[in-house]
Amino acid sequence: MTLGMIEKVENNKKMSTDVYRGIVITDLKYIREKVKKNEKHLDKLNGRVNETEKDLASLKGITTTAGIIFSAIVAYIFKVK
């Protein structure tokens, strides 16, 4: 049962409480299923983001070290002249 059916139930006040409750429970089960699916997908994405952040941090460390070494070599060359 879908959201459209709930709207029909709301418009038809004579429908029994049990029928309405059944529709709501069915919709809640569907929502829970979709939320669980989204949570699994987000966990997967978060894992990929964490891995990428670690890679970027290591790359930043490597480039910083290379920059310092390059600067030291250039400074030494100009100091020698």
From CA 53, how far away is CA 75, in angstroms rounded? Answer: 33
pLDDT in tens, 2-60: 566 656 655 656 678 888 888 899 999 999 999 999 999 999 999 899 999 999 999 99
Quote the domain boundaries for residue 22.
Answer: 3-80
Model confidence, pTM? 0.52
Q: For the packed helices 17-80 and 3-11, what is the interaxial angle rounded to 10 degrees?
A: 140
> What are the CA-CA distances from residue 37 to residues 7, 31, 33, 45, 57 (Å)?
26, 10, 6, 12, 30
pLDDT in tens, 57-81: 999 999 999 999 999 999 999 887 6
If one counts the domains in the chain, the total is 1
